[in-house]
Amino acid sequence: MSGQTQEAAAFTGLIDLAAEMLGGQALDASDEFFAPKENLLKPGRGRFEPDVYTDRGKWMDGWETRRRRSPGLDWCVIRLGLPGVIRGVDIDTNHFLGNNPSYASIDAKNGESGDWVEILPRVPLRPGAQNLFGVMNQTAWTHIRLNIYPDGGVARLRVYGDVAVDWRVLPDEDIDLACLRYGGKAVACSDRFFSPVENLILPGEAHHMGEGWETRRRRGPGYDWAIIQLGRAGQLHRIEINTRHFKGNYPDLCSLDGCVAPDEPVDSLTWPEFEWVNIIPKTSMKPDHLHVFEGESISNAGPFTHVKLNVFPDGGVSRLRVYGQIAQGR
């Protein structure tokens, strides 16, 4: 049921569809007297500067409206960076203590001219906290509207869900089948200590090391790995393993495997005995470098539904690109 409180772990593996780095944009707001709406979509949870003031009052890292002296509510309209099915939201009131909204609700719509539909009924908000709520709605949306009652401040808004791809509109050239934009999902990994594995398949380049995937230092035998479910099964033509920004902590070696397992539970893909087909054999990595594999350097082009990036023994990779064509009938 929409509106039920969730733990943060419930949203692990889901994408923040509204993230600024994915193109999310705060389009309009009823009021932003104390702090601008754009802050809602920025990375992190916001910071607090106890001695910083502006000519309008206390500087706050979030969206904050003036005190309401008449009936009503405040709202902010956001265009999602990627359209998708919303599974949950985090209405984070970090640092807003004594000036947080009492309640919030969320509406959604499809396209600029669509009708607003309530997807999260009015729920209470705690001050200075991540307020996480599940959303039970299977429709793909492009816009949301955050409503706060009656006024106040919210540090960040996260809109967790699954990307919805319009497969009728595709470029003529190969597409990155692993990319979030085309429905790729990071479904499992051995370790996500320093940064989330989902970063591997974000659109665009990583701006710094924190926007890649980095595992902890391995002190025993073994290696680290990440399993990506491709947006559609495809024939692979070009692979890119990018260690940009990773200079003293890049993997020594990498390899890539693939499989055809459209209906296989994710857990079974992680079993040691699961059979993977090698796509790229173990290859030495360079720091801060784009490694490109195509033609004869690809051992098996598929088609595949999943790929598994193996890093030996550990380290960081900023992006994995898997370019190819959708397999016929898949």
H or E element, residue 110? none
pLDDT band at 1 (very low <50, low <70, confident <90, very high): low
Q: Which pLDDT score is estimated for 54?
A: 85
pTM: 0.87
pLDDT band at 113 (very low <50, low <70, confident <90, very high): confident
How far is CA 4 from its chain centroid?
A: 22
Q: How confident is the model at residue 203, as a pLDDT?
A: 93
Looking at CATH, the fold of the domain delimited by 8-163 is given as Jelly Rolls (2.60.120)
What pLDDT sits at residue 296? 94
Each residue of 209-254: pLDDT tens digit? 999 999 999 999 999 999 999 999 999 999 999 999 999 999 999 9
Give me the pLDDT at residue 277, please: 98
DSSP character string of 60-73: -SSEEPPPP-SS--
Confidence of residue 99 (pLDDT cuts 50, 70, 90): very high
The neighbour count for residue 98, using CB atoms within 10 Å, is: 8
Burial of 219 (0-12, 13-18, 19+ CB in 10 A): exposed
The DSSP code for 5 is: B
Whether 124 and 103 have beta carbons less than 8 Å apart is answered as: yes
Our measurement of the distance from residue 230's CA atom to the centroid of its chain's CA atoms, rounded to an integer in Å, reads: 15
Average pLDDT over residues 153-174: 90
Dist. CA 274–CA 56, nearest whole Å: 61
Rounded distance, CA 219 to CA 204, Å?
33
**CA–CA separation, 96 and 114 (whole Å):** 33
- What is the arithmetic mean of pLDDT over 259-278? 94
Are 8-163 and 175-326 the same fold in CATH?
yes
When pLDDT is averaged across residues 101-118 and rounded to a whole number, the result is 95
Asked if the peptide bond before residue 313 counts as cis, ω within 30 degrees of 0, the response is yes
Mean of per-residue pLDDT scores for the chain: 94
Residue 201 in 3-state DSSP? helix
Name the amino acid, one letter, at 98. Answer: G
Average pLDDT over every residue of 156-162: 97
Going from N- to C-terminal start, the domains of the chain cover 8-163, 175-326
143-164 mean pLDDT? 97
Which contiguous run of DSSP H or E holds residue 266? helix 266-269
* Mean predicted confidence (pLDDT) in 178-196: 95
Q: Which residue has the tokens 């999943």?
A: 306
Which residue, among 102, 94, 107, has the nearest Cα to 46 in the 3D structure? 94
Q: What is the model's pLDDT at position 59?
A: 85
Give whole-number Cα distances, 157 to 44, 88, 144, in Å.
Answer: 10, 11, 11
pLDDT in the model for residue 4 = 65
Q: Determine contact, residues 243/320, Cβ cutoff 8 Å.
A: no
Q: What is the pLDDT of residue 10?
A: 79
- Helix-strand-coil percent breakdown of the chain, rounded to 5? 10, 45, 50
CATH annotation of 175-326: 2.60.120.260
Residue 253 parent element (H or E)? strand 253-259
Which of 69-73, 135-139, 168-172, 201-205 is least confident? 168-172
Is the distance from CB of 132 to CB of 5 less than 8 angstroms?
yes
Task: Answer for the pair 228, 200: CB distance below 8 angstroms, yes or no.
Answer: yes
Helix (H, G, I), strand (E, B) or coil at 45: coil
Structure tokens at 114: 């669509």
pLDDT score at 93: 98
Of the pLDDT bands very low, low, confident and very high (cuts 50, 70, 90), residue 295 is very high
pLDDT of residue 52: 86
Q: Which residues contact 59 (CB under 8 A, 6 or more apart)?
A: 35, 49, 52, 53
> What is the structure's pLDDT at 330?
57
**Would you call 235 exposed, middle or buried from its count of C-beta atoms within 10 A (0-12, 13-18, 19+)?**
middle
- How does strand 130-134 pair with strand 53-54? unpaired
Please choose, from the candidates 221, 200, 305, the residue with its C-alpha nearest in 3D space to the C-alpha of residue 260.
305
For the record, the structure tokens of 258 come out as: 């693939």
